[in-house]
Structure 1
Amino acid sequence: MTCRTSTFCSLDFNAESLVKESRVVCDFTAPRSDTCWMDGDVRVLGKSSLVMLASPPTDRAPTHKTTWKIRPYPRKWESTMELIKELTVTVAAEPEQAPRCMVNHSVPAVFFSTGGFVGNYFHDFTDVIIPLFMTSRRFNGEVQLVVTDFNHQFMDKYQQILKQLSGYPAINLDADDRVHCFPHAHLGLFSHRALGIDSSKSPDGISMTDFRSFLRKPFSLRREYSNGIDLRSRRKPRLLLILRKGSRSFVNEREVTRMVKGLGFKLITARPEETKNISRFAQVVNSVDVMVGIHGAGLTNMVFLPTNATVVQIIPCCGLTDGCRYIFGEPAPDMGVRYVEYEIRMEESTLVEQFPRDHEVFRDPISIQKQQGLACVLPVVGMKTEQHKGPLLPKE
């Protein structure tokens, strides 16, 4: 066992090493997620949400704590955590009286929740897919995924990714009343930032470069690199324009598309219904050199862009730059993707047709978000009817 920091350890997980020690270690100090890991005779009591270490800890002292509570979803500061199923981690007082195993597993288990904000594309990746990759990739598929707050739609949508992470069907803990036994269990997921990984803290120094390389196989992504943009080349660079309906959409869509083509780009447009099939759309994104979109979950597709491609984020007015940049701008360098942004000016927004220029929606949009209950981690202008007149094309 080698420890990178005083908090996290990178274990060499093989059948022999897993049974040498018997212990429970929990970390509640990380800002985004709580985690516990258990070595020894780990027994999971299905629907009861009880995870028990049946073998006495090798380093246990009479005063050691024997029970911990954990909600395995990495947004511990959010009120939605109250809706995440709480798991109880405990050490059996009398090992011989622990529930008998009904299903024996020879591989470790990783517990996580598909509740919370799952269903929002950005949160699917930030809160589950990337943290799950970071936590479970070291097992090389020899790991059992155990899911609480089981979201069937999520599990079906991302089955290609999940099958690459685990060679075993996921266990729906909410619907399973059997006693499952494991040699090791990891409850909760490592999580560092929006759409990102801090390789200085991750197991074995895993990075976003590793994650993007991992995505190539389940989605058959052919392009690893983009050759950049040369409008004089015989091969037209490909530009993907992500279009939205309702809020934060272009009102001058025709002018935008006409100008993009006039500049020499091969234009591909994607409306919401065209992005739903992740397998198909991931290949579309991987085929382009530039992806342009108004701030929203659709920009999460930047994870499929080839290295050296460019993502252009159009930021709603007014004063929302920092939040939008944090979500999609800051992750870009670690992905090997170029980032360009354009902030909509007041006069470019149809909001000026609905509100006077001294209205709070322009002066203090953050307070509007709070009043309307919108999550500050995904800032948008608070009015659902907002649309944008421009710009035609952001410039670096």
Structure 2
Amino acid sequence: MPDRSFLSWPFFEDRHRALAQQLEEWAQDHLPVPHDDVDAACRGLVAALGKGGWLVHTGGTLDVRTLCLIRETLARHDGLADFAFAMQGLGTGAISLFGTPAQQKEWLPKTRAGSAISAFALTEPRSGSDVANSTMTATDYGDRYVLNGEKTWISNGGLADVYTVFARTGEGPGAKGLSAFVMPDGLPGFEVVERLDTIAPHPLATLRFTDVELPKTALLGRPGGGFAVAMGVLDVFRSTVAAAALGFARRALDEALARVTTRQVGGAPLADLQMVQGHIADMALDVDAAALLTYRAAWAKDSGAPRVTREAAMAKLFSTDQAQQVIDRAVQLHGGDGVRHGQMVESLYREIRALRIYEGASDVQRVVIARQTLAAYMETA
């Protein structure tokens, strides 16, 4: 069993502890699922998560500690279950935070019930971390917007029923000229041009928009406010990426502990070797440090901080980078079995890598942390 002592930390309330226990029991009964057909698996997971009541937490009022606890637990049991849950939150996060009552009424009941799948369409072929460099356009024709351009690396692309789409409306240069829209699937001119295969299979796609018409009521927030919408959503969900990495790391540590306490070398358990103990110590240290940074960021946001840009960036950077190291050590301690297809640590090794890239790559997080730290210093200098 994984370490549960962190639930006694003052970051959490009794409702969080109760939720963690209930989800653990649910996950043991329902996860993992077969990944042979990724699309079918994701559809099934969204439906199961909705039926279990877990997707209620992805829409409406967003409690970041709850989101983090759910992602950590799901990731520890099944990376694809974490993906399915996370995208329901990220895909409709803009609707929860910035949507009109009509937009929220139309989509949130469906995504929270698991009857509709959501997606967040931000990245473009020439603008990944540099959101302000987006070139996709949404032209205002008075009674409607017309979208033209491409998005890529879109999770749930081709699978989603509703997309949050960001496009340039031209109110100003760079970040000042972006707007956000709610777009249902199936509109004329919208197509999936490529499905993208990755080392840990997830439903990812490149999308093309050719004269796709949206009513003016599809706008999220104000015209030209898309960058603020995107950053507001990421400010909530970036900490949850750290939580998913933490879940992967906890599972890797558990697998390593089981291995070194049962595997014999020279008539004694691997755990008796000082070098092995050194690895275990480093892994335990990284897991606890990642948990502290993750739940500090989540607690700060839930406690009313308007922005937790620095805290969330620290949590994501440290948790994802160190989870990679924890998992690598677990692979090493498993020897040849560690790289054997079908082994849990081999699966974790493939799952963790993308987390150091999406929702702001590690090097981008370093820039964010540095700028925030310098700005805070200059304000007090």
TM category, shorter = under 0.3
More strand by share: 1
Normalising by structure 1, report the TM-score: 0.23
Report the structure number with the largest CA radius of gyration: 1
More helix per residue: 2
Give TM-score scaled by structure 2 length: 0.24
